[in-house]
Amino acid sequence: MILTTDKSLQTDDEGYMVDPLDWDESAAVQLASTEQLTLNEDHWEIIHFMRRYYNEHRVAADARFVIKHMANEMGLGKRAKSRLYQLFPYGYVKQACKIAGMRRPRAWSTG
């Protein structure tokens, strides 16, 4: 469980949210702090993209969709993949999915 300024969030044993619908930006800040990350503008762009994708599809976005978004919408082109792993150095699933409030995608690698 993680405490935010206005509520507590139910997390599983690995620190992923049990219910992605409980997520908000204060939850993201708290989840990021457990990963020793301070969120910047690029982090937020990715997190908000992931949340929009989740709201539309009801599943976490695969890293390839995030990388495509970064390449096209953030103007990173071929640098997108390396930038994703600069922002989330311990991996997309381990950090980006967790901070965006996703359940741990069990079928994915930890990359």
Cα 36 to chain centroid, rounded: 14
The answer to whether the CB of 67 falls within 8 A of the CB of 80 is yes
| Close Cβ partners of 8 (under 8 Å, ≥ 6 residues apart) | 1, 2
Tell me what the mean pLDDT of segment 20-46 comes to. Answer: 96
Instruction: Please determine, for residue 88, whether its predicted confidence score (pLDDT) is greater than 80.
Output: yes
Q: How many residues does the chain have?
A: 111
Closest by CA position to 60, among listed 31, 12, 100: 100
* SS3 assignment, position 6: coil
Domain residue spans in the chain?
Answer: 2-99
Residue 27 has pLDDT above 60, yes or no: yes
What is the per-residue pLDDT across 74-87, written as a single tens digit (0 to 9) for each?
999 999 999 999 99
Phi/psi at 32 (nearest 5 deg)? -65, -40
